[in-house]
Amino acid sequence: MYVREEENDLMIKKLRESALKQSPVDLSKTLFCLAASTVFRPVFGQSFLENTHFNEEKIEELVFEAQRSLTFKFSDLFPIPVLGWFIGLVSSQNKSLYNVFNKVDNFLNHIIDDHRHSKNPTQDRPDIVDSILDMIDKQEKDKSFKLTIDHLKGLSQDIFLAGIDTSAITMIWAMAELVKNPRVMKKAQEEIQTCIGIKANERIEEEDLDKLQYLKLVVKETLRLHPPAPLLLPRETMSHIKIQGYDIPPKTLLMVNAWSIGRDPKYWENPEEFNPERFIDSPMDYKGHNFELLPFGSGRRICPGMASAIATIEFSLLNLLYFFDWKLPDEKKDMDMEEYGDVTIVKKVPLLVVPILRH
């Protein structure tokens, strides 16, 4: 919790400077850095902006490059593994996959080495790498399961690749929709003004979220229209099944199109409209119980970082709407909402907006 609050305070401080100058900010980059630092500090024990092994542009590029490499592999399409491997070799796909994950592995090696040789360990607030390294060092030498550096790398890689951009993407789409829909932004800000008022210390706390309901509906509606991973993670059939007359054999890779489901007119009235009010007095939620809304998946394979991601998204939006009004630069007449991506769907054109101080 304290990490989110501190990182948002830093973001607001920088945005204040832009607001005083009345200069546009690239909110896409700002929110990616915020999401990255919110993940980096509890996992790696350092600020994203203070990381010495990669600068912010290279880390953002590495995240999206790694995800693109996982999107489509020839080996997934051929029943004979050797054939898929050979086509991947000829097309240089195997080489590309090796190169990008070699970069990820080198990055993680640097992080682990820093922790191994750190002269100032933070014992009061150990990060995930500290904790797992400590478990590896203290585990007994028997034949039972043992944690290894590879386990640490695997866990860190999952959090690193999946935990940063999905939160950032959702925040970016939410702010884009709010700027495009001034009525919704005004209603969200009025709720904040009514429920929170003006803070004497000008600092938002995470417990303030409990007072806000409409803001949570804004996040729900954003996830409906813009699920960060539109095809979810692949599933594999365990046995023969039949879906709408089609026979699906065992070991078949299945993809669930959450983007299409969230815009299906059979389930949603005016599905292309950004309308948070549709969730008022509705039991519909994103926690995997309602198959009409599946941004995080469902069942045993539901996203394990859902609660943390939602807390980051809601708290950051609260800060952005409490401290600032937002408008497009004077030379822009409308918001470009074109999508781009594969594993994750990002806003193709960076979100360039002007912050205006409210307090």
- 303 marked among binding-site residues: yes
The whole-angstrom separation of Cα 85 and Cα 147 is: 30
Tokens coding 91: 């097309």
What would you measure as the largest C-alpha separation in the chain, in angstroms?
Answer: 68
The whole-angstrom separation of Cα 223 and Cα 219 is: 6
Coil, strand, or helix at residue 119?
coil
Beta strands 253-254; 235-236: pairing state = antiparallel
The whole-angstrom separation of Cα 220 and Cα 281 is: 13
Q: Determine if residue 56 is left, alpha or beta; phi over 0 gives left, psi from -120 to 50 gives alpha, anything else beta.
A: alpha
Contacting residues for 268 by C-beta, under 8 A, at least 6 apart: 224, 262, 278, 292
Helices (H), the chain: 2-21, 27-44, 56-71, 81-90, 93-116, 128-138, 149-163, 165-180, 182-196, 214-225, 258-262, 306-323
Helix orientation angle between 306-323 and 2-21, rounded to the nearest 10 degrees: 30
Annotated binding site for heme: 303
Annotated binding site: 303
